[in-house]
Amino acid sequence: MTYQALVTHRGEDGKVTSAVEMLDDARLPEGTVTVDVEWAGLNYKDGLCLTGAGGLVRTYPHVAGIDFAGIVRDSQDTRYKPGDRVVLTGWRVGETHWGGYSQRARVNGDWLVPLPEGLSTRAAMIIGTAGLTAMLAIDRLEKLGLHPDAGEVLVTGAAGGVGSIAISLLARLGYKATALSGRSEHAERLISLGSTAVLPRDAFLAEPDKPLESARWAAVIDTVGDRILGKALRQVKYGGAVAAVGNAAGIKLETNVLPFILRGVTLSGIDSVMQPYAARVAAWSRISQSFDIGAYGDLVEEVGLQGLPEAARRILAGQVRGRIIVPVA
């Protein structure tokens, strides 16, 4: 049986290109569960894999796609049977193991999560790694003491995938979220998504850096790193926490000990890729109950397999608003 996949090659000149090809089952990687993929997603990391940036993909040809949702076709894993609806995010699928930009995927059954009741495969990909990560960040901040009366939560990279879903989830869960964004054209949409205010990135960065700055945030969900993370840490209120999620602006972090020793601030890292099964199931269950997909609708763009190389360049340039999802079936 043949199926379509977006196959990524690296030429002798080192150039990485992708094209839709017909493959047969013999090309599927090792694994215990074969899935007919219905929808995949595009994340920042997929942009890196499709362009060869970041050195995440070591072996070519490759099929990228770190997220997918679909229907089990065949299973040697007793937990899954044909017809089951499943979602996969992380586990380095799409990086070291062939991923979701393919009508058929074969993976280790340990990496799958059964789709929560009532969540379609399309909705699961609107959420994807971005939504799972946003949920994990909120869960962590709550474990560290955040509650809706604690004050404003700052979300950086707010118009991106993780940021926009974090804002939507925070609003639904009763929190006040301030969106930090470099794109003023999306400010109105971020407000209608549930943020109480939109802070322009330039204005935030224009304020002079001090060892400790005015305490403004009960918590921060940071998707960008670098100077923005350093500055946000110095503005967290007494006892607050920062969830460090991403590095869209860079991997550096310059800080000092004052936020930690004078305000008891916690800096906590979030990783969605290697999350244990029970934590994933719990997070998917909470998202399926808390995420208002209807309200998020116009922040979703559909891009077919052929359009992904161009969309990859856009996401790396910070030009994607909300989520890109990929109809694969």
Q: Which residue is nearest to ligand NAP (CB)?
A: 160
**Shortest Å distance, C-beta 71 to ligand NAP:** 25
Instruction: Tell me the Ramachandran region of residue 295: left when phi exceeds 0, alpha when psi lies from -120 to 50, beta otherwise.
Output: alpha
Q: What is the DSSP code (8-state) at residue 124?
A: H
Distances (CA, A) of 259 to 13, 241, 264: 48, 10, 7
Residues of the shown chain interacting with ligand NAP in the complex, contacts defined by CB under 6 A: 43-45, 129-130, 133, 157-163, 181-183, 201, 223-224, 228, 245-249, 270-273, 315, 318, 320
Q: Pick between residue 2 and residue 192 the one whose CB is nearest to ligand NAP.
A: 192
How far apart CA 139 and CA 166 sit, in angstroms, is 11
**Shortest Å distance, C-beta 117 to ligand NAP:** 25
**Shortest Å distance, C-beta 74 to ligand NAP:** 29
**Shortest Å distance, C-beta 273 to ligand NAP:** 5
How far apart CA 26 and CA 94 sit, in angstroms, is 18
Q: Who contacts 44 (Cβ-Cβ below 8 Å, separation ≥6)?
A: 160, 161, 246, 248, 315, 316
Q: Pick between residue 21 and residue 226 the one whose CB is nearest to ligand NAP.
A: 226
Please give the structure tokens belonging to residue 93: 């699928």
Q: Pick between residue 33 and residue 130 the one whose CB is nearest to ligand NAP.
A: 130
Q: Pick between residue 157 and residue 194 the one whose CB is nearest to ligand NAP.
A: 157
**Shortest Å distance, C-beta 214 to ligand NAP:** 21
Q: Pick between residue 187 and residue 218 the one whose CB is nearest to ligand NAP.
A: 187
